[in-house]
Chains A and B, each alone.
Chain A
Amino acid sequence: MWQSARQRTVFFNRIPRRRSARGNRFLRAFGVSCLVGFLFSSVVFAETYPLSKPQKLTPQAEKVVEQLGLGSWIWTTNFQEKQTCRFWKSFEVPANDPVRRALLRITADNSYHLFLDGREIGEGSNWKALTEYDLTFLLTGGRHVLAIDGFNDGREAGVLLGMRITLASGKQLDVVSDDSWLIVPNTAHRWLSRNRPDADWQPATVVGVVGQNPWWVNPVNIMTPPTLQPYEQHFWKTTWFLGAVLSVCIVALALSLWLAAKLALQTRAQKLLEVERARIARDIHDDLGAALTQLVLQSEVAQTEFPETSTARGHFSQFCSRARAASQALDEVVWAVNSKRDTLRDFSSYLCKYAQTFLSDAAIRCRLDVQAGMPASVFDLSVRRGLLLAVKEALNNAAKHSGAGEILLRINKDGGNVVVVVEDQGNGFDPDALGGAGNGLQNMMQRLQELGGTCHITSGIGAGCRVEFRMPLAHPASRGGFSLRNLFRRQNGAHQWQNLNGQ
């Protein structure tokens, strides 16, 4: 009667229609027919529904169990309607004995979700049929965990499972549903992937054997979904790879933050240095320069107060010319230090002025050939200073040794280089026969090479002399702009100062 009353469907949300059957009998027995009473009794019934006691297997059922390797129907003792019950079991597969075949058969009243090692294997909700999963490729040697999330709508509840593992050695390993399974409390989190049970997990209860009323002796159907394959583990999905990528990202981020900070600091330091240079230039000019000028003027005036023949007048005259020279030297320092004068245009105008003054004192005509519209591109302090000293040396040599009445100074920009030529049509010399006397020249060349420039001397006896300097606009190592190499330098500013002072 019970079984005939069961109208099962595979759907979860079926409401047991025959719930009232027993209630009606109850009411009939007591002769009461009222709705309130029905509902009340219905509640009482639900709370007191007894679990059936496992019976002995019938011979026929025993054969089925043996053949399919099944266990018993299990559930929790705390039965409720609309109940979820989670089962957990771990088992060991021998490591040295490969699995040849592993079949897992399962059904549940009313439904189940099956997991192996946290991976969902399948689900089902037809208690009359068995589903047979082929886990051959999923079971490697070692410890595994089966987890079942079972659900029961009402009345009889149970999960039936049997897994038969055939090993290469011919041994057979059965994992079946029995009271060695543990019930996982609903409060447990991440239970699907748990390796070890908690101490408070209670064992499952066997609520019936195969064939026990109301369940089947023979399954109506055995469904066989396709053989399950192990997940293809792409290397980019592996933990270590993701970890490596993450750490590379973190390192890159940290590095770029560090570089950005350093760049900001360096830019600031560069700016400070420029401001500081401009300030020093201004201070020297305003204080020292003005004082020197005044000194010159006053001693000129004082000079006039002595008779022309007095020795004091001679002393004052000497004093004047010294102070004038000091004032001129000071101008040169101010020019070198002043960051406002860091351009090619300023350099070229300064060089022309210097050459004209210097050569007119030596009574030599100075010819200039300066590229029209010299750009105001930035010309590095260290290079500028080095080139100035070298050109001075070349002018000095020409004035002293060439015997020429005219010296040509040519300045132009050639791509990223400045080209300065000092040329005369004087005596000339044999560059090869220079020997020890050429120390000054060699120093000059070495200085320019250190700054990334070159110096070519063309001369012959009686053929004049031509010295060509070719310098990059910026010293590669002390360039102010952005460059990785620069960022890794500790003290860019210090380097520039060193160059300025260490002539």
Chain B
Amino acid sequence: MTPHRAETKAPQFSTESPLKIALVEDKRDVRESWAKLINSFPDFICMCKCASGEDALRMLPPLQPDVILMDIFLPRMSGIECTTRLKNELPRTPIVMLTASDDDDLVFVALQAGADGYLLKRTTPADLRSALLDVLTGGAPMSSEIARRVVESFRQKPRGHDDTISLTAREEETLMLLTKGYSNKEIADRLGLSIETVRSHLKRIYEKMHVQSRAGAVARYMSGKPIENG
């Protein structure tokens, strides 16, 4: 899955105020490397480095970063739990998960928990930069595999199902095309929409997924039970 391959040139931000990135990562060497990498981009600055989820919850809300990069595996409070809690404090701040391996189960749970995307740790600096820009412009990239899971999770209607969190026909259409491997641009062409509209559909799907999962998968995950089909 390479959801962060930028399909359109992300709009250039003014370099006057660099974008503030916060980093949550427990390993010191990795943390420092990420910080240096981010700081090497002229339009980004790593404003805060947290070594644990607890630190992040304490330090980040007052700092109001533009994007949070979150390691999915953290000691004690996991990255997923931390994401859920941070979303309550900073609902408009995008959170991108960092993961060492491409594990759909974990990524899906993280996305349900409120994450807005994910990055492999071995990603290239160029991809990192475009992914950060993408997420800042309201993009919510989604791989075909994740789209398939989203479709499934919406089809298995949970107890106390609420119509406000079911997908609209257009949203479902968008998802179905995603599962078939179409890119956002191809979807836009096929559905006669602008690429921005497709992105906003995806953003809405993410939001619905967060709402839908509040009581579901995330709660299960946090109560320590294994994820189904894990």
Contact = CB atoms under 8 A, between A and B. Distances in A.
A370 interface: yes
Nearest to A321: B124
A83 to B, nearest CB: 87
A473 interface: no
B1 interface: yes
Interface residues of B, number: 32
A298 B102 CA distance: 21
Given A365-B181, A372-B152, A352 B125 contact: no
Contact of A293 (B100, B143, B179, B182): B100
Nearest to A349: B145
B212 interface: no
B98 to A, nearest CB: 10
Interface in B136-152: 143-145, 148, 151-152
B143 A353 contact: yes
A interface SS class: helix
Interface string A318-355: 00100110011001001000001001010001001100
A328 B1 CA distance: 12
Contact of B29 (A285, A298, A373): A298
Interface residues of A, number: 38
Given A297-B34, A360-B5, A370-B179, A290 B100 contact: yes
Contacts of B186: 365
A484 to B, nearest CB: 32
Given A293-B30, A300-B125, A352 B145 contact: yes
Contacts of B144: 352, 356, 368
Contacts of A353: 1, 102, 143, 145
A368 B100 contact: no
A292 to B, nearest CB: 7
Contacts of B143: 353, 356
Interface of B: 1-2, 5, 27, 29-30, 33-34, 36-37, 40, 100-102, 104, 121-122, 124-125, 143-145, 148, 151-152, 179-182, 186, 229-230
22 contacts: A290-B27, A290-B100, A293-B30, A293-B121, A293-B122, A294-B33, A296-B122, A300-B124, A300-B125, A304-B36, A304-B37, A320-B124, A323-B122, A327-B122, A345-B229, A352-B144, A353-B1, A353-B143, A366-B181, A367-B180, A372-B148, A372-B152
Given A294-B27, A349-B148, A353-B102, 10 more contacts: A294-B29, A296-B121, A301-B33, A320-B124, A324-B124, A349-B104, A353-B1, A368-B144, A369-B180, A372-B151
Interface of A: 285, 289-290, 292-294, 296-298, 300-301, 304, 320, 323-324, 327-328, 331, 334, 340, 343, 345, 349, 352-353, 356-357, 360, 365-370, 372-373, 376, 409
